[in-house]
């Protein structure tokens, strides 16, 4: 009883601190209703344009996991890896997976380039390397990806039907009530959280800490990861599979200021890549990031999930 009472006091004090500090944060960001709505529209426009770029998610046309040894590829159905019809030769060559690398060997008459230079036989991936170069053949772009013990070929088609037919993403109406002041709570010296992806693989990923915030006087928190100098949030809520993507959404948050304060803006909640293509390997929200409320802000369902 006493512990419950003390926890209530602690939450109330934290809420008061956040509310008092929010005015300073808002002022420092030159916040106004008009430029806020404009900033969200600009953010959304940039988000949509990125989806349509060569490295966006709308042009993904295949994901093929390699087996040890020779993996033939081309448009012919006799290949181990079948590319979209009409995009490359029927038998275009093969990928050779060894214990240390992935080789590309092209067949006679097949044009594949690496940084604009034609290649016939070359190593395109060393195991444990940071990444793999992108190869090109006509409208196709392909590269090697690794997910734990699985190594595969990610295929993009710059003329992919999903890209051509893309008409945009539905969103909730922008609402400043979902722009919240948050307090960052550092995780400590070393902290990791378990993240599972759609392949069922679970890894421990380093977390800098969590964001604590209030909605209608109730305290919530979300564990964060780091991505490109920002806090990366994978979360779920009660709109999932009804109005929003079934497995949750993503959110980027600016790192906190010197006092540990930042803004978490659910109007910028966005769909994971798996909402746009079956050829992505998205992370799923950890159980502690499943909010017991409906977050009616940000992007809605897309495509077959609408």
Can you say whether residue 116 is alpha, beta or left, with left for phi > 0 and alpha for psi between -120 and 50 degrees? left
What's the pLDDT score for residue 3?
46
Same-domain pairing of 95 and 9: no
Same-domain pairing of 48 and 145: no
- By residue range, what is the domain housing residue 81? 60-159
Distance CA 145, CA 152 (A): 5
Same-domain pairing of 8 and 88: no
Calculate the dihedral angle through the C-alpha atoms of 65, 66, 68, 72, rounding to the nearest 10 degrees: 140
Q: Last residue of a domain, which of 107, 130, 159? A: 159
Decide which of 303 and 170 is more confident: 170
Same-domain pairing of 96 and 140: yes
How deeply is 90 buried, as exposed, middle or buried, from its count of CB atoms within 10 A (0-12, 13-18, 19+)?
A: middle
Domain count across the chain:
2
pLDDT (tens digit per residue) in 160-206: 999 999 999 999 999 999 999 999 999 987 799 999 999 999 999 99
Calculate the dihedral angle through the C-alpha atoms of 219, 233, 249, 51, rounding to the nearest 10 degrees: 150
CATH number for position 107: 2.60.200.20
Percent pLDDT > 90 in the chain is: 84
Rg of the chain on CA atoms, in Å: 23
Same-domain pairing of 174 and 154: no
Same-domain pairing of 237 and 284: yes
pLDDT at 221 over 80: yes
Q: Last residue of a domain, which of 143, 159, 175? A: 159
Same-domain pairing of 184 and 299: yes
Same-domain pairing of 7 and 35: yes
Q: Last residue of a domain, which of 159, 188, 212? A: 159
Note whether 9 and 2 are within 8 A (CB).
no
Same-domain pairing of 25 and 79: no
Note whether 302 and 169 are within 8 A (CB).
yes
Same-domain pairing of 38 and 92: no
pLDDT range class, residue 27, cuts 50, 70, 90:
very low
Average pLDDT, rounded, for the chain: 91
Same-domain pairing of 151 and 294: no
pLDDT (tens digit per residue) in 128-160: 887 899 999 999 999 999 999 999 999 999 999
Same-domain pairing of 150 and 32: no
Calculate the dihedral angle through the C-alpha atoms of 245, 184, 216, 173, rounding to the nearest 10 degrees: -40
């Amino acid at each position: 009883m006493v512990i419950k009472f003390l926890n209530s006091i602690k939450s109330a004090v934290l809420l008061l601190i956040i509310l008092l500090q929010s005015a300073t944060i808002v002022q420092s960001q030159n916040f106004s209703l008009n430029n806020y709505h404009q900033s969200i529209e600009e953010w959304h426009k940039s988000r949509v344009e990125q989806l349509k770029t060569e490295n966006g998610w709308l042009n993904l046309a295949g994901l093929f996991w390699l087996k040890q040894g020779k993996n033939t590829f081309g448009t012919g159905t006799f290949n181990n890896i079948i590319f979209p019809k009409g995009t490359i030769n029927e038998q275009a060559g093969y990928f050779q997976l060894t214990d240390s690398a992935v080789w590309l060997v092209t067949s006679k008459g097949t044009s594949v380039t690496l940084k604009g230079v034609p290649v016939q036989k070359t190593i395109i991936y060393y195991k444990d390397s940071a990444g793999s170069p992108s190869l090109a053949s006509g409208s196709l772009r392909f590269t090697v990806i690794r997910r734990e013990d699985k190594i595969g070929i990610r295929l993009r088609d710059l003329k992919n039907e999903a890209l051509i037919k893309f008409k945009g993403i539905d969103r909730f109406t922008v609402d400043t009530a979902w722009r919240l002041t948050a307090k960052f709570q550092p995780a400590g010296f070393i902290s990791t959280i378990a993240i599972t992806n759609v392949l069922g693989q679970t890894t421990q990923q380093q977390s800098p800490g969590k964001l604590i915030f209030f909605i209608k006087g109730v305290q919530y928190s979300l564990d964060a990861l780091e991505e490109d100098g920002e806090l990366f949030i994978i979360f779920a809520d009660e709109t999932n599979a009804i109005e929003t993507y079934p497995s949750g959404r993503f959110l980027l948050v600016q790192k906190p200021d010197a006092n540990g304060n930042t803004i978490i803006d659910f109007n910028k909640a966005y769909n994971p890549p798996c909402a746009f293509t079956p050829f992505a390997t998205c992370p799923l929200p950890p159980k502690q990031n499943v909010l017991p409320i409906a977050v009616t802000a940000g992007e809605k369902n897309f495509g077959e999930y609408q």
